[in-house]
Amino acid sequence: MHSDPKSTTTKAQVPIHGGFDEREMQKVLERACARVGLDSSDARLMRGHTNAVILLPKAFVVVKIARRGTPIGNVKRTVRFTRWLMDLGFPTAPLHPIDQPLIIDGHAATFWTYIPQPNHPVPAERLAKPLFSLHHLPKPEFDLPQHDNIRAIRRSINFTTSLSPATRRFLSEETDHLEASLKDVDFIFSEAVVQGDPQHRNALHAREGEALLCDWDTAAIGQPEWDLVTIEVHCRRFGYSKSHYLAFAESYGFDITQWAGFHTLRRIRELRMITTNARKAMHSPGSVTEVERRVKGLYDGDTQLRWRIL
C-alpha cells in the first residue's frame, strides 16, 4: 500500500485513515478486493481523513472503505441513491458494476469507476449546473434523511474528545444561539434533494466544461440554500477568489450572499465544518491545531481567516 505523504498520523506516527490504522485498512481492502476478483497489490491511498479512499490503478477502480463506526445502512443508502442518480442520467461519479456494498468484518466497502483527474480542482462555476439540476430532481421514492446541521453539530460536540471543556462549552453556546436565529430565517426555495457538502473536492472533471458530483454520504432532503452557502464558505475559507465564487453564483442564478438569511446559515455551516473536524481529530491528532485555530477565528469573528484543508 502506497500512502499519500500528507496522510495524518498519531503521536506514535501510526497512519490513521478513516479511523483505521494501516494494517487494519490493508486487511479490509485485500479481503474486499479478493471477493470481487480485483488485485489490490498496486493499491494507493488517495484520501483518508473521512473515509479511506484507495485507488487500484491497473483496474481503474476506486475503493472507499467507510469510516470506522459508519452504520452499514448509511452506506447501503448511499449506493441506492447513486444508482438512482445513474438511472436518471445525472452527472455523478459512477459505481463499479458489482453488487455492493461489501461488508468485511462489519466494515462497508464500495467500489467506483476511476476517472483520471488533472492536478487542479474543479472550479466552483462548474458545480453550478449539476447542483441546480440536483435541486430540481423529483424526490426519490425511498427515504433520505432530513438535512439537519444543528443536530449534526450537537452530535459532533458530544463525541469530541480533542477540545477542552471550555471550548466545547463555547461551541455549545454558539449552537444554542444559532439554533434560535435559524427559527427567524425565511427560506426562498422549496425543499429538495441536496448534496449536503458540495465543494471542489467532492466533484470530478468530466468532459471539457463539465463536472461530475460525487461523495453522496451526506445526500438528504433539505433546503437548497444549505448547498449554496457551503459553496460560498469553501470558496472564501480555502483561498479561492471572490470572483471564483461569483462565477458560481451567476451560473447557478442566485447569489446566496445577497439573501437576508445568509449570515445565519454561513455561521451554522462553518460551525458544522469546525465541529465535524474536531470529532474526527481523535483519529488524526495532527489536525487538532487547525481545529483550534478555526475555533479562535470563530471566537474573534474573523470571517476572512483562511483555513487549511484537513
Using a cut of 0.85, tell me whether the model's pTM lies above it: yes
Give the number of other CB atoms < 10 A from CB of residue 29: 23
CA–chain centroid gap for 238, Å, is: 15
User: Residue 51: which of 270, 230, 163, 218 has the closest Cα?
Assistant: 218
258-298 per-position pLDDT tens digit = 999 999 999 999 999 999 999 887 767 678 999 999 999 99
The cell numbers describing 214, all together, are 460525487
User: Residue 83: which of 219, 207, 190, 211 has the closest Cα?
Assistant: 219
Q: Do the beta carbons of residue 310 and residue 277 sit within 8 Å?
A: yes
The cell numbers describing 288, all together, are 487538532
> So where are the chain's domains?
16-113, 125-300
CA distance linking residue 286 with residue 290, whole number of Å: 8
The predicted pLDDT at position 248 comes to 98
The predicted pLDDT at position 10 comes to 37
The predicted pLDDT at position 1 comes to 57
Architecture of domain 125-300: Alpha-Beta Complex (3.90)
Q: Do the beta carbons of residue 201 and residue 237 sit within 8 Å?
A: no
- One DSSP character per residue, 92-149 reads BPPBPSS---EEETTEEEEEEE-----SSPPPTHHHHHHHHHHHTSPPPSS--PBP-H
| Residues with Cβ within 8 Å of residue 180, at least 6 apart in sequence | none
The predicted pLDDT at position 210 comes to 86
CA distance linking residue 175 with residue 271, whole number of Å: 8
16-113, CATH topology level: Phosphorylase Kinase; domain 1 (3.30.200)
Residues of the chain with pLDDT under 70: 1-16, 283, 285
The predicted pLDDT at position 23 comes to 87
